[in-house]
Amino acid sequence: MPELPEVETIVRQLRGVLIDNTLAGIEVYREKSFEGGFEKVIGKSVSAIERKGKIIFVRLSGDIGLMIHLKMTGQLIWRKNEKRIVGGHPTVDWVGNLPSSHTRVKISWLDNGELFFNDMRVFGWIKVTSLQQWQELGRKLPHDVVDDGFDKNYFEKIVKKSIRPIKVLLMDGSLIGGVGNIYANDALWLAEINPNRVARSLKKEEVEKLYKSLLYVINKGIETGGASASNYVNLDGLGGKYQEHFLSYKKEGEKCSRCGGVFMRSKIGGRGSFWCPGCQK
DNA sequence: ACTCTTGTTAAAAC
DNA sequence: GGTTTTAACAAGAG
């Protein structure tokens, strides 16, 4: 599940290979995965790569671009001159020959590079989008957790008026941009707060601690190149390292490093949740 | 063969 | 009217 740190990792890598590159061709293997006309983007060159929440925008000359959402299983992988290592070991990092059975779109570039959009579950998408549409969407979406606008006051305001479980609030993409299941679970463990707590029942100190914890885990995720717990790989087809730093995510049955309790797993707001009943109160 | 999984959104319910 | 809940999407893992 690519969340902000995973998407940010890809965005930084995309800047390295796509800026000033020219879009040469598009091949769509699955209709549902691509929306819009090729003629509007072929021959255009990349001027910037932007990100808002988990959405990527490849900005092209002519006030147009490609908006990309990876949803749960989307991958963007860059290949140039077919430099795949032959005889490598099949590991979590291994993507193999492309296109694969999960490749939905291939975008070719003037420097012979190829960008593959893989998406096993076909929830993700690439859409031809005008610069104006992108900017309008940006105005509607909430601040990312890493934005200056997402300050302690804003966070306290939304926490104080919600009766939902705090974890559900953390993952509400209409109020906070970029947070998904992994980082919501880990932030709550770090803040020693039970994910089931009614949001507005949190004391002021708890809200502050959670705010700091959230920023900490998201930044840790960016520093470590994202979490490869399932499908996520970066632009080189390699996994990130944040899974080595998981605080609570996917730890059910394991011992809590802080209090020795045993991690629980349950569903909160329909999503798998992990927490330690010993120290998350 | 069946259930579970996941991010987002649209629609329904409160 | 704003907030909250639920279902739907697709396909693989167990």
| Reported pTM | 0.93
Closest nucleotide to A174, Cα to C1': B8
Mark residues 30-89 of chain A whose C-beta is closer than 7 A to nucleic acid strand C: 32
> What is the SS3 assignment for A178?
coil
CA of A103 to C1' of C7 (A): 28
Task: Report DSSP letters for A33-52, one per residue.
Answer: GEES-GGGTTT-BEEEEEEE
For the CA of A205 and the C1' of B6, the distance in angstroms is 32
pLDDT one-digit tens code per residue, A185-240: 999 999 999 999 999 999 999 999 999 999 999 999 999 999 988 889 999 999 99
Q: Is A271 a catalytic residue?
A: yes
- pLDDT tens across A94-138, in order? 567 889 999 999 999 999 999 999 999 999 999 999 999 999 999
Residue nearest to nucleotide C6 (CA to C1'): A270
Active site residue A121: no
* Residue A100 CA, nucleotide B2 C1', distance (Å): 28
For the beta sheet containing A125-130, the strands, ordered from the edge strand earlier in sequence to the opposite edge, are A34-35, A125-130, A64-69, A55-60, A46-52
The whole-number pLDDT of residue A93 equals: 44
Burial, A250: exposed, middle or buried (Cβ in 10 Å; 0-12, 13-18, 19+)? Answer: middle
Question: Is A123 within 7 A of strand C by CB distance?
Answer: yes
| Catalytic one of A44, A51, A54, A251 | A54
Name the percent of chain A in helix, strand, coil, to the closest 5: 30, 25, 45
Angle at A119 between CA A78 and CA A87, to 5 degrees: 50
pLDDT digits (tens, 9 = 90+) for A34-53: 999 999 999 999 999 999 99
Based on the residue annotation, tell me whether A2 is a catalytic residue of this protein. Answer: yes
CA–C1' A269–C6 (A): 10
**Which residue's CA shows the smallest distance to C1' of B6?**
A72
Catalytic residue among A71, A212, A241, A271: A271
- Predicted confidence at residue A94, as pLDDT, reads 54
Average pLDDT over chain A, rounded to whole?
A: 91
pLDDT for A1 equals 79
* Token representation of residue A122: 């076909």
